[in-house]
Amino acid sequence: MAADTFLVELGVEELPPGAIDALSDAFASGLRRGLEEAEIAHGDVRAYATPRRLAVQVTELADKQPDREVERRGPALAAAFKDGQPTKAAEGFARSCGVSVDQLIHLETDKGTWLGYREQQQGEATTVLLPGIVEKAIAALPVPKNMRWGASRVEFSRPAHWLVMLYGDRVVEARALGLEAGRTTRGHRFHAPAPIALAHADDYLAALEGAWVLADRDIRRERIREQVLAEAEVQEAQAVIDEELLIEVSGLVEWPVALTGGFDERFLEVPAECLISSMKANQKYFHLLDAEGRLKPQFITVANIDSESPELVIQGNEKVIRPRLADAAFFYDTDRQRPLADRIGGLSSVVFQQKLGTLADKAHRSAAVAAFIAGKIDGDVAHARRAAELAKCDLVTEMVLEFPELQGIMGRYYATHDGENAEVAQAIEEQYLPRFAGDAIPQTRTGQALALADRLDTLTGIFGIGQRPTGTKDPFALRRAAIGVLNILVKGELNLDLRELLELAAAQHQELPYAEGLVEEVLTYMLDRFRAWGHDEGIGAETYLAVRARPVTKPLDFARRLEAVQAFARREEAAALAAANKRVSNILAKQDGEVSPNVDGALLREDAEQALAEALAACQDKVSPLFAEARYSDALDILAGLREPVDTFFDRVMVMAEDEAVKRNRLALLASLQALFLEVADIALLQQ
């Protein structure tokens, strides 16, 4: 079976830069899926994309499907013949197969013998199947918004202008999006506008690079990175390369050329975050820092043309960025003319959620919870209350209305300008931490109190109006809020009871339609998030289930147990003790009522049960103070020493003795063993 390279390229008007990666990956996935469904052997499936094209190259694509033997089953043998002659059922089946009855075979199955037919089916040529596969892949692309062009009824993300489909050096006859497939592609819109005839599918990348197009997304991105770093080195500066911005810029150019421009130093009086947001959001510029980490009055832009007069391109970019930065400076100056506290009243006109009131209502509720938390963690209650009152005020400033990503950051700047306490100002920014997995948590006690209060208010409020997140919908980011609370409590080593905090937060809401059982529902939801949190920390699902089985409502305590059980699970003794605890759990579960862990020494008759009782008593004395100090790892290290007496007990002692008193005493011994481990977790679940 022969094989060759297949290439498909769809040429379009400039695609939205944020959609290119998703469209490109989906195109490749759709083709791969179609080839696999058709059982066509192939090598690598490589996706390429620029603003003007989506392409997929498949190496070592077989020229046809494999031949296969097709087996058809007809009527049962008993119904196929009567008195040695074929029945109408047999003759009809033979006709459907295009053969005579005597050419049919007998198929033996576990349900009897049947008439059957086997034939060798020739595989279809790949070039015959490719048009349908490509058309299906294009139809399934996740286009953000379709459009039509000209008089055509065809719809796609952007007008489509050319279609290349080559199998080796042959054009695949096909049609898609109203275009006939050919071998002609196009290079850079300005540097190489003439059509380019591809001789072979393997020539694609080289031909385009010769026409000023880097079709490989990864190569193009790395080219941009290298150029930006090189430009920064010339300026004796450090370039800050935001990966999301890099991806977006890569989606705007086919032939990147990095150039350095500048702006007036007077703009540096504006907070650096404002200038950076303006440069990134509006112009897609990379900013530069000096040796001390301060913003330099320079930027790096990536042009889509290798101009003979780069200074003109730079001047054009400088001309464009100047009014943008002037706007930022104007917003900053205007906002500082009013103290942040004067905007508290304005929050009354901003709805947080229709059923939960305004941002002013939320600030009032959060202030009470933040003050309570501050008191619990040795923070300043007055600072926490003040920070909560001011927390959302920057949302109604001109700067944040223009650049929403600056919320909290501008609050800190404006609060500092107004002479607010430094920790209060810092807390206004810290309320949004952590923003994502691995992000830092608030460092100040006021910031921790505010960040917790804000999230707890959102969680109890949204759950309280019946908008619990579903598998696909979480518009208020409750999962992120819950994991944020866990991270702050654990990484901040705040030993607070989550149930207590939720009860306080829920009580701040005046009316909640689903108030009954609310605290337990939210508590369960949040503790369930420990599974994802533990996964990020490398903790197994069995470990999570073992700890989750205990009534632990302090996240810090929960996390310490997770770490201790995870470490215990790696010990040699863990499997045997987990199995023993599972056995104990099963035995005790079959008993009527609770089994007391109080053991009567006088009823211990066997050496093995006496040895276990002594070992348990010794362990109890050692681990009790460790449990009190939440030193669970140290306690489990000691309990690991019970493996030998526990194994010996089960090997030599009959628990369900005929003497009822002896039996109950042995059950009590097992209950006391179980109780020791349950001080940390239900390690029987490590068996799962």
Is the predicted pLDDT of residue 161 greater than 90, yes or no?
yes
Task: Assign 512 a pLDDT band (cuts: 50, 70, 90).
Answer: very high
Q: Cα angle vertex 678, ends 672, 681, to 5°? A: 155
The mean pLDDT value for 244-272 works out to 96
Q: What is the pLDDT of residue 540?
A: 84
Tell me how far the alpha carbon of residue 481 is from its chain's centroid. 14
- Structure tokens that stand for 81 in this block: 């013949």
Q: What is the pLDDT of residue 101?
A: 82
- Residue ranges of domains in the chain, CATH in brackets: 3-65+125-209 (3.30.70.260), 68-121 (no CATH), 218-335 (no CATH), 341-528 (1.10.3210), 560-687 (1.10.730)
Is the predicted pLDDT of residue 151 greater than 80, yes or no?
no
The mean pLDDT value for 412-428 works out to 97
Secondary element (H or E) of residue 49: strand 45-50
Q: What is the pLDDT of residue 577?
A: 87
The mean pLDDT value for 107-133 works out to 86
Q: Cα angle vertex 509, ends 504, 510, to 5°? A: 125
pTM of the model: 0.81
Q: What is the pLDDT of residue 688?
A: 62
Q: Which of 200-209, 232-241, 376-385, 652-661 has the lowest mean pLDDT?
A: 652-661
The mean pLDDT value for 464-473 works out to 87
Per-position DSSP letters for 84-106, written without gaps between them? TEE-HHHHHHHHHHTS-GGG-EE
Residue 40 near residue 181, CB atoms below 8 Å? no
Per-position DSSP letters for 118-171, written without gaps between them? EEEEPPPBHHHHHHHHHHHHHHTS--SS-B--TT----BSS-EEEEEEEETTEE
Query: What residue has token string 């409020």?
Result: 461
The mean pLDDT value for 286-311 works out to 96
Secondary element (H or E) of residue 57: strand 53-62
Q: What is the pLDDT of residue 204?
A: 98
- Structure tokens that stand for 325 in this block: 């930065």
Percent of the chain scoring above 90 in pLDDT? 69
CA 387/CA 449 separation, integer angstroms: 9
- Structure tokens that stand for 491 in this block: 């990484």
**Pairing relation of β-strands 105-109 and 112-121?**
antiparallel
The mean pLDDT value for 157-178 works out to 94
Three-class DSSP category at 588:
helix
Q: Which of 107-111, 219-223, 406-410 has the lowest mean pLDDT?
A: 107-111
Residue 163 near residue 10, CB atoms below 8 Å? yes
Percent of the chain scoring above 70 in pLDDT? 100
Q: Which of 118-127, 364-373, 631-640 has the lowest mean pLDDT?
A: 118-127
Query: What residue has token string 């089953």?
Result: 73
36's CB contacts (< 8 A; 6+ apart) are none
Q: What is the pLDDT of residue 522?
A: 96
Residue 540 per-residue DSSP state: -
CA 477/CA 456 separation, integer angstroms: 12
Q: Which of 224-228, 230-234, 275-279, 618-622 has the lowest mean pLDDT?
A: 618-622
The mean pLDDT value for 436-458 works out to 95
A 10 A CB-CB count for 422 gives 14
CA 32/CA 41 separation, integer angstroms: 10
> Could you tell me what percentage of the chain is helix, strand and coil, using 3-state DSSP and rounding each to the nearest 5?
55, 15, 30
What are 32-63's pLDDT values in tens digits? 999 999 999 999 999 999 999 999 999 999 99
Q: What is the pLDDT of residue 145?
A: 81
CA dist list (Å): 637 to 361, 441, 578 = 50, 31, 14
